Amino acid sequence: MNLEVTANEDEVRDNVIQIIGPDIDETPEGSSFPIGMEFKIWGSEIQPDYDEFFMRAMCDNLEGMEGLMGVNTRHTWWMRVAKRVADRFTLRKMCQAVIALTKSAYPIAEKMEARIIVGAPEVGGPELIQQILEEEIKPKWDLSDSRRLGIEDDDVDNFFSCTLCQGFAPNHVCILTPERMPFCGIISYKGAQIAMEIDPHGYIDELPKGEPISKASGQYQAINEYMYEKTNRTIKRLNLYSTIKYPMTS
Ligand code: SF4
């Protein structure tokens, strides 16, 4: 699964959905196929490094659809469609919903286009998807990743927190630093900065890190105080760089 932000408006054909291979209503019950999905997005205020934010928004939209189980991102994306919705669920409708939900939640998304390849034998099977992945998609991921690398924790005055998972884990908080990705892997430090710009009242908070209690273990007074409040007064200390002593809640 890929989401690409394009700088050139002409590269996105608004609301165009291209399905290569059979849709859900054209396959027998119980079928299983490799799948490739790509969404392109353009907006006059959208920067290239907004891709991570919109990828997350897109996954949220997919995961919230009735009868659809979607897990992971990028090359580990996996989804299943429940039998009870199979008679009214198609990939085309799914893309229409993702585009409509994204545009209505984030009006800076002015144009969106979708392409889905279902790797059935008649369109080239898994080899077609693998070829597109290697030749087209992975170079885009390398470029996108390179924009997020190269910053160290000492270079910044603020960290960020994420509380998205409190929907099902009420005492859970992640602290995001340039060198410390959360285990879920869905949001980087740079991505958190952008999320704050786009959605300042969302699930990301900006945290001035203040003076360290221990720089080696990555413990900060201000972060401890924030954790205590945000974990419903259950976690008093956090060592950013330890998985054994006062580790992150995840
Ligand atoms: S694991 Fe942490 S960073 Fe990832 S979504 Fe949950 S709270 Fe946010």
- For 51-99, write each residue's pLDDT tens digit: 989 998 888 889 889 999 998 888 889 999 999 999 999 999 999 999 9
Distances (CA, A) of 59 to 4, 6, 72, 101, 157: 14, 19, 8, 11, 30
For ligand 1, whether the C-beta of 181 sits within 6 Å is no
Q: How many helices (H) and strands (E) does the chain have?
A: 6, 11
Please tell me the predicted confidence (pLDDT) of residue 81: 96
pTM tops 0.75: yes
Cα–Cα distance, 180 to 172 (Å, whole number): 16
Write out the two tokens for 146: 């390179």
Please tell me the predicted confidence (pLDDT) of residue 131: 95
Please tell me the predicted confidence (pLDDT) of residue 145: 87
Domains of the chain: 2-146 (3.30.1650.10), 153-230 (3.40.970.20)
Please tell me the predicted confidence (pLDDT) of residue 147: 83
For ligand 1, whether the C-beta of 59 sits within 6 Å is no
Arithmetic mean of pLDDT over the chain? 93
* Ranges of residues in the chain whose predicted pLDDT is under 50: none
For ligand 1, whether the C-beta of 187 sits within 6 Å is yes
